[in-house]
Chains A and B, each alone.
Chain A
Amino acid sequence: MTTNKLVPTFEEAVADIPDGAIIMIGNFAGPGGTPYYLISALQKQGAKNLTIVANTAGGTGLTLDYEDHKILFENRQVKKVIATFPFSTSPSRPSPAEKQILAGEVELELVPQGTLAERIRCGAAGIPAFYTPTGYGTVVAKGKEVKWFDDRPCLLERAIKADYALVRAYKADNMGNLVYRGTQRQFNPIMAMNARITIAEVDEIVEVGDIDPEAVVTAGIFVNRIVKIKEDPGFPRHLERSFRVRKG
């Protein structure tokens, strides 16, 4: 055993994140797959002028009113957000990010979701840019090179590279191999592969060798720090139950 990536507390795991860092955060529509405890520790840590790369800018109101990276905006730690779904679906309950974006206090780069995913994947894969048809003829095309392939106009999109990724997984071993649960997976694996430092919060830590190598989603080399969640997040979640179902 040459590596032990376990970090005892969330506070220690995020302690070195500097002002101005580019941070990817796993996130979709709901609390599943959002590394809330790492986000919360980052809020306490207080790093400023952050660039956040995430599907939403937090507090979009799609489901339960849950805590997420909206607390980083509330705490005025963000200068820029790269997101696909930054605004609340409920006009009467605007998100903290929304108010700051409209006031010109936070810069928004609004990106189609597939383009965001591929920019993250390409950043991880050493591909600096790629062409995609999505966005041609819309506001997304503004300022971008257009090239035609097979009779289809495409936009040149640049990869994104992050300093840190905060990801949520279900299970880890000490080497950092990760397994996810259900739709918790979403952006987490591609963000884990992208960042210079990837920090994972997980429900369970098992011995090296206890995760089936065929089942590993994120290879351990991509994960630098692992923190175990000590308490139940308090949302409906059935860890004892597999999603495996059989006919009849």
Chain B
Amino acid sequence: MKERLSREVIAMRVAKELFDGAVVNLGIGIPTLVSSFIPEGIAVIYHTENGALGFGSVVTSEEFEEKADIDLVNASGQYVTPLPGMCFFHHADSFLMIRGGHIDITVLGVIEVSEKGDLANWMFPGRGVGNIGGGMDLAFNAKRVICTTEHTTKDGRPKIVKQCSVPLTAPECVDLIVTDIAVIKVTKNGLLLQEIAPGWSAEDVQQLTEPELTVASDLKEIEL
């Protein structure tokens, strides 16, 4: 049994994509973990839909009594900490930042992602209902969309598919897919397999992926 990367390691790999000064919005799930693994020497500016920029880390359970404050939360409803230079604004300005292309990178979760970079991540599978929230504006309008996911569903079906079978968040929006076994770039010519988890081969990854992958000439093991 080849080992898959943990959610934390996926988040660690995504964190390598961030750059100093980047304005970053993290979605719910694996994406929120990214903030724990920002490389040394890099300071990113976090944006949250509910109107804050430049806040700090999520309040831990040990810090709860002292630091949790219902007037300082991120889009997942988690308490966050203040930082010097932080600022607040209302929802229309918050989405002006998103729609206007002022968010450098967003990291979003996945229900399905297609070979063209179509992303579906808002309709709960099996429930027939879903929350669009701020994800649709982010997927359409952030400068770079990175999505993170386990490579397959719990029952082993590919989450990277030829065509999404559930309602889309946005068509042709994803730039990079980071999974628990691979890093795949979405290009005009389809999906480019760039990195694989230790112990996995390109063929192994292809077997769990519905569309055909092009293997990068410089394919390498995922580096953290």
User: A-side interface residues toward B, CB under 8 Å?
Assistant: 28-33, 60, 62-63, 84-87, 89, 91, 98, 101-102, 110-115, 117-118, 120-121, 132-140, 170, 180-190, 217, 233, 235-238, 241, 243-247
Contacts and interface: CB of A to CB of B under 8 A. Distances in A.
B133 A183 contact: no
Q: Which of B68, B72, B73, B84 has the most CB of A within 10 A?
A: B73
Nearest to A170: B71
A104 B137 CA distance: 28
B50 A29 contact: yes
A163 B106 CA distance: 36
Contact of A134 (B48, B127, B140): B140
Contacts of B127: 87, 91
A87 B167 CA distance: 16
The interface residues of chain B, by DSSP majority, are classed as loop
Interface string B72-113: 110111110011101011111011001100000000000000
Given A120-B92, A236-B70, 19 more contacts: A28-B50, A29-B77, A30-B73, A33-B50, A63-B73, A84-B133, A85-B131, A98-B129, A113-B137, A115-B137, A117-B94, A133-B99, A180-B88, A182-B71, A236-B64, A243-B72, A244-B82, A245-B84, A247-B84
B84 A246 contact: yes
Contact of B76 (A62, A120, A134, A170): A62
Interface of B: 48-52, 64-65, 68-73, 75-79, 82-84, 86, 88-92, 94-95, 98-99, 124, 127, 129-134, 136-137, 140-141, 167-171
Given A118-B95, A138-B169, A184-B71, A110 B90 contact: no
Given A63-B77, A186-B50, A135 B72 contact: no
21 contacts: A30-B70, A33-B71, A63-B77, A63-B78, A85-B131, A87-B129, A91-B124, A91-B127, A117-B90, A118-B99, A121-B92, A135-B136, A138-B168, A138-B171, A181-B71, A183-B72, A237-B71, A243-B82, A245-B82, A246-B84, A247-B84
Contacts, number: 167
B167 A138 contact: yes
Given A62-B76, A243-B72, A185 B134 contact: no
A12 B42 CA distance: 53
Given A30-B70, A138-B168, A236-B64, A185 B88 contact: yes
